[in-house]
Every structure is written in structure tokens, then in C-alpha cells.
Amino acid sequence: MPMIPFYTRFHDLAFQEMRVARIPDGFDIPQGEYGFLELYCDELDCDCRRVVI
């Protein structure tokens, strides 16, 4: 089952609706802004409704 990023089909919409997490200094991961990338199943006849974030 191939998974593709949402932005490959809906580029403008994907970046308008992208959600981010802003991590301040003092955590175990580096400070910064992290975007959530959505991946969807790309099989034409698939109805699995799987999403990977």
C-alpha cells in the first residue's frame, strides 16, 4: 500500500492548512517549529481511510 504526502495532490491547500508545533527551548528535542506532514493511501480502488501524520 503506497502512501503519498497530501501536498503532492493538493499543494496550496496542504500548506494553507498545515499545523505546526512550536517547541520552546528547554525540551529534549531542539527548539523550533515542526510541521505535521499527512500521508494518505494512493491506491485507486482503496477505501482503507488510513492516514499517517
For residue 50, name the pLDDT band (cuts at 50, 70, 90).
Answer: confident
Q: What is the pLDDT of residue 21?
A: 94
How many C-beta atoms surround the C-beta of residue 39 within 10 A? Answer: 15
pTM attached to this predicted model: 0.64
What distance in Å separates the CA atoms of residue 37 and residue 24, rounded to the nearest whole number? 20
Domain residues for the domain of 7 are 3-52
Domain count along the chain: 1
- Helices and strands, counts by H and E, the chain: 1, 5
pLDDT digits (tens, 9 = 90+) for 28-46: 999 999 999 888 888 888 8
